[in-house]
A = this chain, B = another copy of it.
Amino acid sequence: MSDSKKLAIIATKGSLDWGYPPFILASTAAALGYEVEVFFTFYGLQLLKKKMDLQVSSLGNPGMPMPMPVPVLLQTLPGMQRMMTVMMKQKMKAKGVASLEDLRELCMEAEVRMIACQMTVDLFEMDTGEFIDGVEYAGAAAFFEFAGEADICLFI
């Protein structure tokens, strides 16, 4: 395995949309024979919860395609974020896009190493009992051991 290509990912976002890139890239690379490690830190730790309850927000993201234009003020109203989350999930299902849970499972099966940032876990007082099995805990220094040898290293 030591001469296979290596992909290192730092996953820092915890929303429904930004949860996809780490798992899509990790599973794709693993399928291509890459050795992959993902370091989950900051809001990215949300991606390790067994029950991911991720949402999507259009606030601050004018590039998000909308079925119809929605004024920013309306986007702040109660229920709007939840509604947009439901709509995006439905669209993904209709288009045959795998769920985040499925993609994550695919990564686990492909032996993608998943590492939770111990410092952020402590800072946010996260309950690691809510995390999926197989997660390792380490700091940034440990991650550099792999990243420093990686062919591709991405901060997502």
Asked if A92 contacts B123 (CB within 8 A), the reply is yes
A128 located at the interface, meaning its Cβ lies under 8 Å from any Cβ of chain B in the complex = no
Asked if A15 contacts B62 (CB within 8 A), the reply is yes
Residue in B8, B25, B63, B140 whose CB lies within 8 Å of A24: B140
**Size category, A interface:** 35 or more
A5 located at the interface, meaning its Cβ lies under 8 Å from any Cβ of chain B in the complex = yes
Asked if A15 contacts B61 (CB within 8 A), the reply is yes
Asked if A71 contacts B61 (CB within 8 A), the reply is no
Asked if B153 contacts A154 (CB within 8 A), the reply is yes
User: Can you give 17 contacting A-B residue pairs, CB < 8 Å?
Assistant: A13-B63, A15-B62, A15-B63, A17-B42, A20-B42, A24-B140, A43-B61, A44-B63, A54-B62, A57-B61, A57-B62, A65-B126, A72-B80, A72-B81, A73-B76, A73-B77, A92-B123
